Copies of this chain bind each other. A is one copy, B any other.
Amino acid sequence: MKISQVAQKYGLSIDTVRYYEKAGLIDPVAKNESGRKVYQEKEMRRINFIKCMRQAGMSIENIKMYVDLFHEGLDTIPERKTILENQLKKLMHQQEELDNQIGFLEDKIANYEQTLVKREKARKEIENI
């Protein structure tokens, strides 16, 4: 597959795909006779993984660490697991904060609701004079 197709398939820009390679998240991609990169199954799976991790809020730096550990073989599984667990902790913390923030906004909106109702009532009373 060529880069434009890969980008299309994973909903990334061509630049982003190249950027991931520059950043060392994807191993150097082999090229055909005319110098164009040809993405194989292996690269595709890697890109899919990166995409998932990015969606899970993991930084490029952390994905890089993870990928580097992956290269070192099976013995690094515990370390890789730790990276994932830390990310999970981060997300769960974010979830708590999000809940608070949602509560805060709901209150504030309810407050405005009240104010609007009161203003409307006041307006009607004036009309009734």
Which residues of chain B come closer than 8 Å to A88, judged between CB atoms? 102, 105-106, 109
A73-108 near B? 1/0 per residue, CB < 8 Å:
010011011001101100110110111011011101
Which residues of chain B come closer than 8 Å to A105, judged between CB atoms? 56, 84, 87-88, 91
Is A116 positioned at the interface, with any CB of B under 8 Å from its CB? yes
Is A112 positioned at the interface, with any CB of B under 8 Å from its CB? yes
Q: Tell me whether B104 and A56 are in contact (CB under 8 A).
A: yes
Quickly give the copy total for this chain.
2
Interface of A (DSSP majority class): helix
Is A52 positioned at the interface, with any CB of B under 8 Å from its CB? yes
Is A115 positioned at the interface, with any CB of B under 8 Å from its CB? yes
Q: Give Cα A57 to B105, complex, Å.
A: 11
A-B contact pairs, 19 of them (CB 8 A): A55-B97, A56-B105, A74-B119, A77-B115, A80-B112, A81-B109, A81-B112, A81-B113, A81-B116, A85-B109, A91-B98, A91-B101, A91-B102, A91-B105, A92-B102, A95-B95, A95-B98, A95-B99, A98-B98
